[in-house]
Chain A
Amino acid sequence: MAILEVKGLCKNFGSLVAASDINISVDDHEVVGIIGANGAGKTTFVNLVTGYLKPTRGTISFNGRNITSMPPRAIINSGISRSFQVPQVFGSATIFDNVLIALGIAHDGKFPIWRPLRRADLVVTTDQILERFGIAANRDHVANQVSQGVRKLMDIAMATVHRPRLLLLDEPTSGVSVEQKFEIMDVIMGALRSEKITVLFVEHDMDIIARYATRVVAFYDGTIIADGLPQQVIDDPHVRRYIIGEQLRLKAEA
């Protein structure tokens, strides 16, 4: 049963074609990896689906509802969420406060002025979330001053606070050291698995893709050139030619 349906999606910036005729259908509980060179349209795709950009043509449906030109906050409130390539955080606040504010918005919604933000139930939940994402030790550190990896994890944690059914992660392991990449993905996927969320994640590292994705979609020049099981896509000649190179052999599964 398709949770996300994209049909004929196009996006032009003047004469620049950022996305051209994108068609994709994602089912519940899939974990889809999105690959492609820089400028291929991966982030544009995420921006289109989450409402940051308005498509020039095409439709996007979520759970049967047409969400094509809705603003980001309406899309978030429908059950989709995303993380960012460059973590978007509240820089001057602590890690704890960042997540707390996210929780506050999720809980207090339309009338966020009656109750104090720092109340027992929200504080407890925030600590649980920090624990689940492995950043409890950074609780009182200011977001601007922690490492990129911690910021990334927090960014993703904040995206899950709304209990989304569909989560798009934009390069969750970029800017993070090589050793940490698998660690971070383990934490993220572990945290998400318990929530039964459908995940689409943009990733450059093919080993990560091979390890975590149940399906792979390859972007090139604004359009999808391959879509299927990881091994199929990785062996696809166009994908080898334009994206991952002819010589790639994957690390043996751990």
Chain B
Amino acid sequence: MLTFVAIIVDALVYASWLFLVAVGLTLILGVMRVLNVAHGGFYSFGAYTAAWAIGVYFERGLPDAGSFLVLAAAAIAVGLTLGVLIERGLLRWMYDRDEVVIALITYAVFLILEDAVLLIWGVNPFFAYQPSTLLGNTDIATLPFPNYDLALVGLAVLIGGILWWALSFTRRGKFLLAVIHDREMSVFLGINVSRLFTITFIIGAILGALGGAVTAPIISVTPGIGVEVIVLAFAVVVIGGMGSIAGAAVGSLLVGLAHSAAVHLFPQIELFMIYLVMSLVLAFRPRGLFSQAQMRRI
């Protein structure tokens, strides 16, 4: 019974973390049809900036509660800066190219960002554990769980909810949905696709950085976390269906459950559980869980 509770709660926490990490990627992929490999770079920059900022913050002896705002501020700062730089400075000249070429461009940016992290912050690990201890623990069925982890679940639900509401109910959101379905047609309908792309990319970047920022307090921030995460994010996006936020949510839950069950019951396969899930999903739904219907071609 206890194991069951542990599995479920751990699954929710891991799923929330996965969702936060992957949602920015699927948003950019869905709207702009851009496979943003640099997403891993947003994550590590977000983590490093947050870790550094937390360090500085607590050195100044500022009030504990504000440290959470520091995390958010770090994410927004990183997302805005990198997002604007990359989209306005590089990507926007390349939209007419082949999709694979654009993916290669983002891959090149990722490589650059990886070393930029090394140059700015060096190779030693950062620790910024303070925010994760501030909230204390909660006992669920007599098992203690850090409230920080549970707050992650809340954050994931919040972000998912905001995105869903924004896409379905706001005018800008509906424009986004239109662009997802047919970019060319949207242009002809007068939607400012170019500006929409910039905004979407920035939001995606902020979300990616946020994933890193909220993770920083619970890991040791080292070079290479971007590399580990980018593959996981891609797997979730593929499982969920490209560009589907609901898909990312459901995919994260699936993987979260599988991963958690493996950790508790079959630790030997924990490392590659996500790839097993992905292979299984793709075997039955070749384009992911929530994929668009294909138009008749002949």
Chain A partners chain B: yes
Question: In the assembled complex, how far is the CB of residue B231 from the closest CB belonging to chain A, in whole angstroms?
Answer: 32
**A84 CA / B298 CA spacing, docked (Å):** 7
In whole angstroms, how far apart are the Cα atoms of A6 and B298 in the complex?
21
Which residue from chain A places its CB closest to the CB of B298 in the assembled complex?
A84
Residue of B nearest to A82 (CB): B298
* CB proximity of A63 to chain B, nearest CB, Å: 24
Q: CB-defined interface of B116-154 with A at 8 Å, one 1/0 digit per residue?
A: 000000000000000000000000000000000000000
A76 to B298: give the CA distance in the assembly, Å.
Answer: 16
Across the interface, which residues of A come within 8 angstroms of B298, CB to CB? 43, 47, 52, 84-86, 88
Q: How far is the CB of A75 from chain B (nearest CB, A)?
A: 14
Q: Which residues of B contact A47 (CB under 8 A)?
A: 298
Residues of B within 8 A of A85 (CB): 298
What is the CB-to-nearest-CB distance from B73 to chain A, in angstroms, rounded to a whole number?
50
A47 CA / B298 CA spacing, docked (Å)? 8
Within 8 A of A (CB), among B257-298: 298
Which A56-114 residues sit within 8 Å CB-CB of chain B? 84-86, 88
A84 and chain B: residue at smallest CB distance: B298
Residues of B near A86 (CB, < 8 A) are 298
B residues less than 8 Å from A43 (CB atoms): 298
A16 to B154, CA, bound (A): 43
Distance between B55 CB and nearest chain A CB, rounded to angstroms: 55
Q: Compute how far the CA of A88 lies from the CA of B298 in the bound complex, rounded to whole angstroms.
A: 8
Chain B residues within an 8 Å CB radius of A88: 298
Q: Nearest-CB distance from B145 to chain A (Å)?
A: 46
> Could you tell me the distance in whole angstroms from the C-beta of B86 to the nearest C-beta in chain A?
31
Dominant secondary structure at the A interface: loop
Taking CB as reference atom, which chain B residue is nearest A13?
B296
Q: How far is the CA of A85 from the CA of B298 in the complex (A)?
A: 7
Task: Kindly provide the distance from the CB of A183 to the nearest chain B CB, expressed in whole angstroms.
Answer: 25
Least distance between B233 CB and chain A CB atoms (Å): 33
A52 contacts which chain B residues (CB < 8 A)?
A: 298
C-alpha gap A18/B298 in the complex (Å): 15
A152 CB, nearest partner CB in chain B, Å: 14
A88 vs B297: C-alpha distance when bound (angstroms): 10
B-contacting residues, A96-141, CB 8 Å: none
- Complex: how many Å from CA A86 to CA B298? 7
| Bound-complex Cα distance A52 to B297 (A) | 10
Q: How far is the CB of B292 from chain A (nearest CB, A)?
A: 16
Q: How far is the CB of A50 from chain B (nearest CB, A)?
A: 10
Distance between Cα atoms of A7 and B55 in the complex (Å): 78
- Whole-angstrom CA separation of A252 from B50 in the bound complex: 83
Closest to A46 in B: B298
Q: Closest residue to A44 on the B side, CB-wise?
A: B296
CA distance A85 to B297 in the complex (A): 10
Give the distance to chain B from A86, nearest Cβ to Cβ, in Å.
7
- Min Cβ gap A116→B in Å is 30
Cα–Cα distance between A80 and B239 once the two chains are bound (Å): 39
Question: Complex: how many Å from CA A111 to CA B52?
Answer: 63
Q: How far is A52 from B298 in the complex, measured between Cα atoms in Å?
A: 9
Q: Tell me the bound Cα distance from A120 to B298 in angstroms.
A: 34
Give the nearest-CB partner of A52 in chain B. Answer: B298
Chain B residue, CB-CB nearest to A50: B298
- The minimal Cβ–Cβ distance linking A38 to chain B, given in whole angstroms, is 14
Identify which of residues 167-209 in chain B touch chain A, using a CB-to-CB cut-off of 8 Å.
Answer: none
- With A and B bound together, what is the CA distance between A43 and B298 in angstroms? 8
Taking the closest CB of chain B, its distance from the CB of A46, in whole angstroms, is: 9
B168 CB, min distance to chain A CBs, angstroms: 24
Min CB distance, B110 to chain A, in Å? 30
Name the interface residues of B52-103: CB closer than 8 Å to any CB of A: none
CB distance from B294 to the nearest CB of A (A): 13
Tell me the minimal C-beta distance from A219 to chain B in angstroms. Answer: 17
User: Complex Cα distance A247/B298, Å?
Assistant: 32
How many whole Å from B221's CB to the nearest CB in chain A? 47
A149 and B55 alpha carbons, distance in the complex (Å): 70
A13 CB, nearest partner CB in chain B, Å: 9
Interface of chain A residues 14 through 54 with chain B (CB within 8 A): 43, 47, 52
Q: Specify which chain B residues have a CB less than 8 angstroms from the CB of A84 in the assembled complex.
A: 298
Question: In the assembly, what is the distance between CA of A253 and CA of B298, in Å?
Answer: 33
Q: Give complex CA distance A43, B296 in Å.
A: 11
Cβ of B83 to closest chain A Cβ, rounded Å: 35
Closest CB in chain B relative to A42 CB, distance in Å: 13
Chain A nearest CB: distance from B96 CB in Å? 17
Question: Of residues 166 to 199 in A, which have CB atoms within 8 Å of B's CB atoms?
Answer: none
Q: List 7 A-B contacts (CB under 8 A).
A: A43-B298, A47-B298, A52-B298, A84-B298, A85-B298, A86-B298, A88-B298
Residues of A within 8 A of B (CB): 43, 47, 52, 84-86, 88
Taking beta carbons and an 8 Å cutoff, which residues of B are in contact with A? 298
The 7 closest A-B pairs by CB, nearest first: A84-B298, A52-B298, A88-B298, A86-B298, A47-B298, A85-B298, A43-B298
